[in-house]
Structure 1
Amino acid sequence: IAREATETEILRKKAGQQELNASVARTLVENMQASRQTKLMAVSDIEFIQPHTGL
């Protein structure tokens, strides 16, 4: 019985680690998307500002 409990605990920990990994991966993707959006906004700001400043 003790061995079965240990195996169950190991499986539970592995499942928890996989959930954590998936959560970290989602966060990384969200951060990359936010970074890309920020860069696009900065580029559009530059494209707007340049004609008005003669730069």
Structure 2
Amino acid sequence: APLGLIQEALPLLQESGGLVVNISSDAALGGYAGWGGYGASKAALDLISKTLA
């Protein structure tokens, strides 16, 4: 969902100088047993945010 929202809002954000704030988790940096999918999704969010910055 965050990527889709960013893609839709990007033209307006670029035009207005707006910002995107994503809230992630330390699970993106180190795994937790049984939380693989959650950690992977947070790591992806971190990388998307860094790429767009």
Larger radius of gyration: 1
Q: TM-score range by the shorter chain?
A: 0.3 to 0.5
Query: Normalized per residue, which structure has more helix?
Result: 1
Tell me which of the two structures has the higher relative contact order, counting C-alpha pairs closer than 8 angstroms and 6 or more residues apart: 2
After TM superposition, the score normalised by the length of structure 2 is: 0.37
